[in-house]
Amino acid sequence: MDVEFAVRANGLGVRYRRGWAVRDCSFALARGTVTALVGANGAGKSTLLRVVAGLQEPTGGTVGTRGQVAFVAQDKPLYRSFTVAETLRFGQAANPSWDRAYAERLVAEAGLPPTAKVHSLSGGHRARLALVLALGRRPDVLLLDEPMAEMDPVAREVTARALMLAVAETGLTVVLSSHAVGELEDVCDHLLLLDRGAVRLAGEVDELVAGHRVVVAPRDHDFGAHEVVSARAGERQVTAVLRVAGDLDLAATPPGLTELVVAYLRSGEAA
Ligand SMILES: Nc1ncnc2c1ncn2[C@@H]1O[C@H](COP(=O)(O)OP(=O)(O)OP(=O)(O)O)[C@@H](O)[C@H]1O
């Protein structure tokens, strides 16, 4: 496998009884990148993460990862009767690569009382403890399924900072799935967008944004070679998100990340 890639998938597919949850997915994630995995409900995000984590066999295709992989599932599995301190001791006993000082620092930063039982923690605190348990192993690849869904805005910011620091310090590669793209905007430098199991859009966020424009044009405007990702028609005008091909002779603004993702999710709904 190429040295600079931490995750590489080739023609990856997962078929359940009712059909393909992940189909023909090919992508490569460079070491030290943070990728937002987005898609509508049922698009295949959790399935893809489980396969990359090695917890589930693909039906077809291949996936390779470099180094140690840690995965935090959506339901944040933790021993509910353990205290926070016992959870860390468990992490240490179960993982030869455990970084005790680092894990203790993360727990302190998260404001998690060492004597508190897991079952007494809020959903957001449990999510942060699950993340500490994963980061404490000092993995090379960290896969997070909706890690911030239950966190308050401050916890999200602190968590995002901890992740970015880990990336900067160790070259950690992160993939995190989310529905709230806005919360990922400051954290992620790459995007992987799934549409009914298939990769619809992938790449560096800055490049993807630079390759798209939001325009307002007369309703009957012909956009020529520019791909209309999604369009909303008013009485006389249409507001469209375009994937631009060459020069654009219309007043246009670059989309925000959320706007771009929503445009693609909407185009998937219409298909
Ligand atoms: N264990 C399973 N057995 C059968 N079908 C499954 C299983 N897990 C997921 N699926 C199906 O595969 C598809 C993709 O599901 P998955 O949970 O991977 O999507 P997701 O993008 O994570 O969704 P969400 O955003 O709702 O969490 C769905 O149609 C789902 O019903």
Write out pLDDT tens, residues 249-270.
888 899 999 999 999 998 866 5
Q: Which of 12, 37, 45, 145 to mutate to test the pocket of ligand 1 (most atoms within 8 A of CB)?
A: 45
Encode pLDDT of 239-250 as tens digits: 999 999 988 888
* Rounded distance from Cα 132 to ligand 1 centre (Å): 26
* Rounded distance from Cα 184 to ligand 1 centre (Å): 22
Pair 21, 47: CB distance under 8 Å:
yes
34 pLDDT more than 60: yes
Rounded CA separation 236/233 (Å): 8
Identify the residue whose C-alpha is closest to ligand 1 atom 31: 42
> Average pLDDT in the 44-55 region?
96
Q: Which of 46, 52, 75, 192 to mutate to test the pocket of ligand 1 (most atoms within 8 A of CB)?
A: 46
Atom of ligand 1 nearest to the CA of 194: 21
Identify the residue whose C-alpha is closest to ligand 1 atom 7: 16
Q: Give residues (CB < 6 A) around ligand 1.
A: 16, 21, 39, 41-47
Q: Which of 47, 49, 55, 76 to mutate to test the pocket of ligand 1 (most atoms within 8 A of CB)?
A: 47
pLDDT of 144: 94
* E strand or H helix at 161: helix 153-170
Identify the residue whose C-alpha is closest to ligand 1 atom 24: 41
93 pLDDT more than 90: yes
User: 14 pairs with which residues across the strands?
Assistant: 22
The strand pair at 5-16 and 60-65 is best described as antiparallel
pLDDT of 190: 95
* Rounded distance from Cα 218 to ligand 1 centre (Å): 40
Rounded CA separation 65/112 (Å): 32
Q: Which of 12, 15, 16, 23 to mutate to test the pocket of ligand 1 (most atoms within 8 A of CB)?
A: 16
pLDDT of 181: 80
Which two structure tokens, joined as six digits, stand for 173?
């590669």
Encode pLDDT of 142-199 as tens digits: 999 988 888 888 888 888 888 888 899 888 999 999 887 877 788 899 999 999 999 9
Rounded CA separation 175/51 (Å): 13
pLDDT of 1: 46
19 pLDDT more than 80: yes
Rounded CA separation 242/246 (Å): 11
Cα 186 off chain centre by: 12
Identify the residue whose C-alpha is closest to ligand 1 atom 4: 16
Pair 49, 37: CB distance under 8 Å:
yes
214 pLDDT more than 90: yes
Encode pLDDT of 221-235 as tens digits: 888 889 999 999 888
pLDDT of 271: 55
Q: Is 18 exposed, middle or buried (0-12, 13-18, 19+ CB in 10 A)?
A: exposed
pLDDT of 2: 46
